[in-house]
Amino acid sequence: MSGIGMENKPKLVDENNLRIDGRKLDELRPIRIEAGILKRADGSAYVEWGENKVLAAVYGPREAKPKHIQNPAKAIVQCRYNMAPFSVSERKRPGPDRRSVEISKITGDVFESVLFLEMFPRASIDIFIEVLQANAGTRCAGITAASVALADAGIPMADLVPACAAGKIDGKIAVDLKKEEDNYGEADLPVAIIPRTKEIVLLQMDGNMSETEFETALNMAMDACMKIYELQKDALKRKYITDQEVDAEQVEKPNTSRGDNQ
């Protein structure tokens, strides 16, 4: 899609409809989600998605500062998506650029549509997304991680928000494009949904597709979102069970390391 070096374009789909990494057209890359991995944040999550590695940390609701940014009627959502300099093959210049400002904005907008912001006037809910390693699809991995981090922080919201892209490669519609597919493919369509209502809260498109192709890609991305939703819930359940086990252990074995000899 970027159009760079299209003369060296590799074959993206073979005669058996398999992709460069052996995936089928409707197959996701392997995804692993962990909830609650950072102690200092109110909520956190880590997502490994193919070669993407993304951390999300959440603070709040807490008093929005400086005061002039406060909204007396509801909480504000502030999001920062950042790519580490070592996250891509050539060192990325540290700090915000147009792309990260855009992704921060659209991610904040996604969560404004699911969080119950009216419950927390004058407050801020702060979302930090750090991309440690990138291989296309990082905005979707970031939204998926941030959503689990918000739930881990116990911030009330209508539902978790899974995100996934679909696109067009070698004229075929495929889900979850990796870097080469994103670079040399014809289109990319990142989507985020509210699973319970099937409402679409993010829809972007880069490249060209026909109306029919668009519909196929949208359905494919939404089906993938439903699979990711299950992984998000599993991650939260695992965290909850582990926390309960730790609590139970502490009840069974009261802390004997301090004060025994006093």
For the packed helices 98-112 and 138-152, what is the interaxial angle rounded to 10 degrees?
Answer: 40
C-alpha 177/C-alpha 190 separation (Å) is: 10
- 91 vs 196 by CB, closer to ligand ADP: 91
Tokens of 234: 């599993």
Whether 125 contacts 61, CB under 8 Å:
yes
Q: How far is the CB of 207 from ligand ADP (least distance, A)?
A: 10
Residue 3 vs 154, nearer CB to ligand ADP: 3
Nearest CB to ligand ADP, comparing residues 90 and 252: 90
Q: Nearest distance from residue 262's CB to ligand ADP, in Å?
A: 56
Cβ closest to ligand ADP, residue 142 vs residue 195: 142
* Residue nearer to ligand ADP on the CB measure, 81 or 229: 81
Shortest Cβ 260–ligand ADP spacing (Å)? 53
- Residue among 96, 91, 191, 76 at smallest CA distance from 143: 191
Whichever of 42 and 186 has its CB closer to ligand ADP, that residue is: 186
Q: Give the shortest CB-204-to-ligand ADP separation in angstroms.
A: 9
Tell me phi and psi for residue 176, to 5 degrees: 55, 70
CA distance 26 to 224: 8
47 burial (CB, 10 Å; 0-12 / 13-18 / 19+) is buried
Cα 186 from Cα 195, distance rounded (Å) = 28
Q: Which of 119, 128, 120 is nearest to 78 (CA)?
A: 128
Query: What's the CA gap between 135 and 149, in Å, rounded?
Result: 22
DSSP annotation of 27 reads P
The least CB distance from residue 43 to ligand ADP, in Å, is 22
How distant is the alpha carbon of residue 67 from its chain centre? 29
Determine how many CB atoms are found less than 10 A away from the CB of residue 62: 13
Task: Write out the residues near ligand ADP by the rule CB under 6 A.
Answer: 88, 90, 92, 99, 134-139, 179, 182
Residue 123 beta carbon to ligand ADP: minimum distance, rounded to whole angstroms: 29
Q: At its nearest, how many Å lie between ligand ADP and the CB of residue 46?
A: 17
Closer by beta carbon to ligand ADP, 111 or else 120: 111
